[in-house]
Amino acid sequence: MLTRLHLAVVGHTNVGKTSLLRTLIRDSHFGEVSDKPGTTRHVEAITLPLSDNALLDKSFLTGKIPRNHYLAADNEEILFYDTPGLEDSVALYDYINHLIPANSKADGIDKLTLFLQSPEAEINFSQEAKVIRQLLKSDAAIYVIDVREPVLAKYHDEVAILANSDKPILAVLNFTSTSQTNEKEWKRLLSRVGIHAIIRFDAIFPPLDGEERLYQSLALLVEPAKLLLTKWLAKITEMRNARDQAANLIIAETLVDITAYEERVKPDDKQAIVDMQNQVRRREQKAVDELLRLYQFDSAQEDEGSLPLVKGRYNTDLFNTEALKMIGIHLSKGFLSGATIGIGIDLAVGGVTLGSAALLGAAAGGLAQTAKQYGAKLRSWFSGYGKLSVDDEIICFLVLRLIHLKESLNHRSHANNDPIRLSTEIAKQAKNQWGKGVLPKRLKVARNHSHWSTLNKGTKKHDEKRKSIIRQVAQQLC
């Protein structure tokens, strides 16, 4: 039984070998990816890290420490070897066959071994020799194919050379999300040399069950590694679920922080509103950073034109009514646009707090005008202080943005260099309860617990009730 599986990732140059590995090991910085041929010049070993610190960050909310390292502790591991491309397979195939006398009984491995011992392995075919050496040392190969390519002579020779290794080979059809492909022809060629294990796996837009299919196919090909691969897959699934749960906790904690956030201000203190908006923006950014870290994407990677993120930041302001309307969030009658949008005012009058919706009109003209509007009765109660809090609609907008970001990151390949785009999904999500602009009851509870917000002074971050509400809100996000 194997406890370590060595997999050589081989194929023609520029077919997406390095990209496939970036996707499988969730690391957008692994190796070098480029349109130019021959970017990967050496064999590079890499494994999927099975511990994840970002998952631990939120464990204080659940009290459960994610089980890490259980595979690593047993020294069980899958090692991938990224190799340079097989560039000149036609010349190599000829050369290998010339090395063998005409009536020789040498088999495929004999031929490859002879080649590796020949002087040309150090001179003209040094790059190819690296690939073949690694292939012979590995337990199996993942053969990456660009299915847009017609099946030219050079590929016939390439496949024949690989088949000489007598290693189990899993063919991975890449670029399958492109419209014009030569899949049928490739499958025919592969089966002619006895390669029948074939999966479709686009490195940039991998299918949802892509990883499962890949490891399951390997388990069928390399019987001694079956148990290891099954455990590996279970670990991947476990990490995926833990990541999803941690993401929901990140979002839920942000929601509770912002819902419970309040400031007591004097009438007409417009600066207080601006300051509060900035605090909320910063809190949202913290959630974005946490999500990016959780899904192992770095914020600097995003380029200028990206939506919804520009260099790891949303490029639409949270307090922007147009954006709110665009995704279809229903705005209540009292909702105002303009500078004061999104921060509602409750009047704290002799211990009685009036609903913010009724008094939203106050935001535009300041509290003095409100007092006029609501008459003498109110004025007599008026203690001289107002309580600012963030409007329901803004919180709903925030949650939709964060859920959308989470989904985008969850499905995103680490080989994808395109900016994260605001898809139509967000509009679809907006049809659910959040789109109505009304907070669910569970979250509303936070309105009466200002000490639950890390944005207020005297926060009780570890308050059991706070943690419990965060967990409940997180569960409702699923």
- Name the binder of 19 from ligand GDP, Mg ion, none, CB < 5-8 A by kind: ligand GDP
Among residues 172, 245, 239, 178, which one has the least CA distance to residue 210?
A: 172
- Amino acid 43 reads V
Q: Which helix (H) or strand (E) holds 347?
A: strand 343-349
Candidates 18, 127, 174, 301; binder of Mg ion (CB under 5 A) is: 18
19: contact with ligand GDP by CB under 6 A: yes
- Measured CA to CA, the distance from residue 288 to residue 246 in angstroms comes to 13
Interaction residues for ligand GDP, span 144-173 (CB under 6 A): none
Draw the binding track, 34-63, toward ligand GDP (x: CB under 6 A; -: no contact): xx---xx-----------------------
Q: Which of 10, 18, 86, 297 binds ligand GDP (CB under 6 A)?
A: 18
User: Minimal CB distance to ligand GDP: which residue?
Assistant: 16
Q: Are 65 and 59 in contact (CB under 8 A)?
A: yes
Alpha carbon of 81 to those of 44, 77, 106, 471: distances in Å? 5, 13, 28, 41
| Nearest Cα residue to 320 out of 291, 367, 281 | 281
Q: Which does 204 bind (CB under 5 to 8 A by kind): ligand GDP, Mg ion, none?
A: ligand GDP
- Angle (CA) 275-280-282 rounded to 5° is 95
State the binding partner of 35 from ligand GDP, Mg ion, none, CB within 5 to 8 A by kind: ligand GDP
Q: Between 82 and 257, name the residue whose CB sits nearer to Mg ion.
A: 82
Please check whether residue 15 is in contact with residue 147, taking contact to mean a CB–CB distance below 8 angstroms.
Answer: no
Smallest distance from the beta carbon of 357 to ligand GDP, in angstroms?
49
SS3 264: strand
Pick one of ligand GDP, Mg ion, none as the site partner of residue 288 (Cβ within 5 to 8 A by kind): none
Residue with smaller CB distance to ligand GDP, 85 or 435: 85
Of 76, 120, 139, 202, which one interacts with ligand GDP (CB under 6 A)?
202
**What character string, x for contact with ligand GDP (CB under 6 A) and - otherwise, covers 174-193?**
xx------------------
Find the DSSP H helices in 63-175: 70-73, 89-98, 108-117, 126-137, 153-163
Binding mask 19-48 for Mg ion (x = CB under 5 A): ---------------------x--------
Nearer to ligand GDP, 13 or 456 (CB): 13
In this structure, what token pair is assigned to residue 156? Answer: 């016939």
> CA angle at residue 149 from 44 to 153, to 5 degrees?
90
Where do contacts with ligand GDP occur on this chain (CB under 6 A)?
A: 11, 13-19, 33-35, 39-40, 85, 174-175, 202-204
